[in-house]
């Protein structure tokens, strides 16, 4: 768990992952890696398969096909416990913490320290305080505060601190700043960066391109359940990333697919990119393909029709002035 691999080497790697729900083929031959010391942004439109991929990583969904490697060795992750044992922590936006418990109870939930006759509250509180202090978290006044009384940013902070407390090797954050204001977003992004700088492999799912560009080292873009691009953040611009998200980007264009879409998406991307804003595609190919009725698979099967839909929908892309 704490092998401290050299920075930039894959801690977690998935190769050739396919995942279907009934007739709906959601993930297509997906390769994904999270490297030590790096923030990997996982981006994609609504329904692209991001949450499905991290649920596969977290052992919630079994892979249909594909290989899972941890520190270069093949592993079998069949449930969340297996993932936790490897040191993989997933922080879900809403489900990360239990409202009715305090900060210490949340951080030790399911892994409580026991004394001779009862729980060792003092030692747990000390460890929780040390972890939060180590992350320079100063906004939490009492560790015995119920989580229900915390702000969104503080909740994210506690959820992330929990991952650190358990010496995780990989921390995956699903939209950690989606509901946060300016100051709290900055705090959480700062924490995300520091986690990576301390050597962890961090995966950040976000629709906010400004956040993505600010903290990530690598960007993996999913388009209709396929990897459209896996690039270094320094090598691309926000409009480039938006194009990958909305049309599958250059890789698909090279295959002669989605060229018309790319042109339209580029227009939308230009507008969105200039603002560095949250990409808010009102409807997309996947939606147009009626999710739950074989949407991604169906769209893949009729590329031309799917591309047309994407083009018109991408043109309808709107931008919000940035959640941050
Ligand atoms: N349990 C499930 N059963 C059937 N279909 C599912 C299931 N989970 C996800 N899907 C389908 O898989 C596709 C990808 O969904 P997923 O939640 O992974 O998208 P996402 O990229 O996380 O989107 P968002 O940005 O909106 O969170 C969607 O078409 C969705 O309807
Ligand atoms: Mg999702």
> H/E/C letters for each residue in 157-200?
HHHHHHHHHCCCCEEEEECCCCCCCHHHHHHHHHHHHHHHHCCC
Q: How far, in Å, from the CA of 303 to the mean position of ligand 1?
A: 20
pLDDT of residue 101: 92
Per-residue pLDDT tens for 84-109?
999 998 887 666 688 889 999 988 98
Question: Which tokens is 136 given?
Answer: 């320079």
49 Cβ inside 6 Å of ligand 1: yes
Which helix (H) or strand (E) segment is 56 a member of?
A: helix 50-57
Residue 10's CB is within 10 A of a number of other CB atoms, namely 19
Give the ligand at the shortest distance from the Cα of 46.
1
Per-residue pLDDT tens for 218-262?
999 999 999 999 999 999 999 999 999 998 875 434 344 433 333
- Whose alpha carbon is nearest atom 9 of ligand 1? 52
Query: For 10-87+167-320, which CATH class?
Result: alpha beta
- Whose alpha carbon is nearest atom 3 of ligand 1? 21
Tens place of pLDDT per residue across the chain (324 aa): 445 656 667 999 999 999 999 999 999 999 999 999 999 999 999 999 999 999 999 999 999 999 999 999 999 999 989 999 999 988 876 666 888 899 999 889 888 999 888 999 999 999 999 888 877 777 778 899 888 888 777 888 888 888 778 778 999 998 888 877 787 788 889 889 988 998 999 999 999 999 999 999 999 999 999 999 999 999 999 999 999 999 887 543 434 443 333 333 333 333 343 333 344 333 333 333 333 333 333 333 333 333 333 333 333 232 233 332
Instruction: Report how far residue 208's alpha carbon sits from residue 10's, in angstroms, rounded to the nearest whole number.
Output: 25
178 Cβ inside 6 Å of ligand 1: no
- Residue 87: helix, strand or coil by DSSP? coil
Question: Which tokens is 163 given?
Answer: 């991952």
Give the ligand at the shortest distance from the Cα of 27.
1
pLDDT of residue 19: 97
Give the ligand at the shortest distance from the Cα of 28.
1
Instruction: Report how far residue 308's alpha carbon sits from residue 323's, in angstroms, rounded to the nearest whole number.
Output: 30
**In angstroms, how far is CA 280 from the centroid of its own chain?**
17
Closest ligand 1 atom, residue 24 Cα: 5
Question: Which tokens is 312 given?
Answer: 């018109």
- Whose alpha carbon is nearest atom 6 of ligand 1? 21
pLDDT of residue 95: 63
Q: How far, in Å, from the CA of 30 to the mean position of ligand 1?
A: 15
pLDDT of residue 25: 97
74 Cβ inside 6 Å of ligand 1: no
What predicted TM-score, i.e. pTM, was given to this entire model? 0.74
The pocket of ion ligand 2, defined by CB under 5 A, consists of: 51
Parse the chain into domains and list their residue ranges: 10-87+167-320, 100-157
Residues near 169 by beta carbon (within 8 Å), at least 6 away in sequence: 1, 2, 3, 11, 12, 36, 71, 86, 87, 88, 200, 201
- Residue 103: helix, strand or coil by DSSP? helix
- Residue 151: helix, strand or coil by DSSP? coil
Sign of CA dihedral 267, 268, 271, 273: negative
Q: Which of 18, 20, 24 to mutate to test the pocket of ligand 1 (most atoms within 8 A of CB)?
A: 24
pLDDT of residue 42: 97
- Residue 89: helix, strand or coil by DSSP? strand
């Amino acid at each position: 768990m704490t092998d401290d691999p050299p920075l930039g080497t894959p801690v977690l790697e998935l190769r050739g992952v396919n995942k279907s729900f009934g007739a709906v083929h959601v993930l297509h031959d997906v390769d994904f890696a999270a490297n030590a010391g790096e923030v990997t942004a996982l981006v994609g439109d609504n329904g692209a398969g991001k949450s499905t991929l991290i649920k596969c990583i977290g052992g919630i969904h079994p892979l249909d096909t594909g290989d899972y490697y941890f520190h270069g060795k093949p592993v079998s992750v069949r449930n969340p416990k297996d993932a936790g044992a490897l040191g993989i922590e997933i922080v879900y936006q809403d489900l990360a913490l239990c409202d009715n418990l305090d900060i210490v109870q949340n951080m030790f939930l399911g892994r409580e320290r026991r004394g001779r006759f009862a729980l060792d509250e003092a030692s747990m509180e000390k460890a929780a305080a040390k972890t939060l202090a180590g992350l320079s978290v100063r906004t939490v006044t009492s560790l015995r505060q119920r989580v229900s009384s915390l702000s969104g940013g503080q909740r994210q902070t506690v959820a992330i601190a929990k991952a650190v407390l358990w010496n995780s090797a990989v921390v995956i954050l699903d939209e950690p700043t989606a509901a946060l204001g300016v100051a709290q977003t900055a705090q959480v992004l700062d924490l995300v960066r520091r986690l990576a700088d301390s050597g962890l492999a961090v995966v950040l799912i976000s629709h906010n391109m400004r956040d993505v560009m600010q903290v990530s080292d690598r960007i993996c873009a999913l388009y209709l359940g396929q990897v459209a691009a896996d690039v270094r953040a320094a090598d691309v611009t926000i409009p480039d990333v938006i194009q990958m998200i909305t049309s599958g980007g250059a890789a698909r264009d090279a295959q002669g697919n989605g060229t018309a879409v790319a042109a339209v998406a580029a227009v939308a991307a230009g507008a969105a990119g200039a603002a560095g804003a949250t990409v808010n595609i009102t409807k997309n190919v996947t939606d147009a393909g009626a999710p739950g009725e074989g949407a991604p698979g169906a769209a893949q099967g009729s590329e031309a029709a799917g591309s047309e839909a994407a083009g018109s929908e991408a043109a309808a892309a709107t931008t919000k002035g940035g959640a941050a």
